[in-house]
Amino acid sequence: MIFKNILTILFIALFFTSCGSKNTSSKYNYKKDKTFPNKLDYNYQIGNTNNYEHIYKALKIQYKNWKGVRYKYAGNTKNGIDCSAFVQKTFKDRLNINIPRTTKLQAKTGKDISMENIEIGDLIFFKTGYKSRHVGIYLGEGKFLHVSTKKGVTISRLDNPYNMKSFWKIKRVIP
């Protein structure tokens, strides 16, 4: 029993340790950053009531301003932020949409969406452990914006084997 508890504590410590570094460059040019999906590369349309251009620009600005900020459990500033705080802050600051603070509550918000109907701005949830959850924001072209424990605020691909294995569900919170 003690051995199991020690292993659990070690796993949690390793999971929440960040190896990322903060981007301190004020001359960052997101137009040259190939990680963010280029809207010219695909003919993407958001649902009837959503303004694609507004959402795309808002997420791109948020990525530019937060890229590389390190992961910190329960953090919510540029000194360190966790995934659910970043998603909450992005929706509030860039889209003027209030959503809950925790991944658990965010996963209960909005409308369930299938992978076939995913749109830019949808929340993507992952089960990363027995009780651990992770959330990111879909950007299009199979990419999502999130806070990685190793890279901080970054963009990753959904088809990455780890992400595919831990994928849980999609929620739409943009009306």
Q: Is the dihedral of CA 80, 87, 103, 11 positive or negative?
A: negative
Alpha carbon separation from 98 to 11, 69, 115, 142 (Å, rounded): 33, 22, 24, 25
Helix (H/G/I), strand (E/B), else coil: 92: helix
Q: Which tens digit of pLDDT belongs to each residue from 103-145?
A: 999 999 999 999 999 999 999 999 999 999 999 999 999 999 9
Find the mean pLDDT for residues 29-57.
Answer: 61
Q: Looking at residue 91, what is its pLDDT?
A: 97
The residue from 46, 59, 83, 123 that is catalytic is 83
Q: Which of 146, 151, 171, 172 is catalytic?
A: 146
Give kind and range of the element (H or E) at residue 66: helix 52-66
Average pLDDT over residues 38-62: 69
Confidence at residue 78, expressed as pLDDT on a 0 to 100 scale: 98
> CA-to-CA distance for 163 and 169, rounded, in angstroms?
12
Q: Rank 15-29, 48-62, 142-156 by mean pLDDT and report only the highest.
A: 142-156
Map out the domains of the chain as residue ranges.
2-172
Which tens digit of pLDDT belongs to each residue from 51-87?
778 999 999 999 999 999 999 999 999 999 999 999 9
List the catalytic residue out of 60, 67, 72, 134.
Answer: 134
Average model confidence (pLDDT) across the chain: 82
Q: Structure tokens of 88? A: 């909450």
Verify whether residue 54 is a known catalytic residue: no
Q: Residue 164 belongs to what H/E stretch?
A: helix 161-166
Asked if 83 is an active-site residue, the reply is: yes
CA dihedral 40, 28, 84, 169 (to 10 degrees): 30
Percent share of the chain, pLDDT over 90: 69
Q: For residue 53, what pLDDT is reported?
A: 83
Q: Which CATH architecture has domain 2-172?
A: Alpha-Beta Complex (3.90)
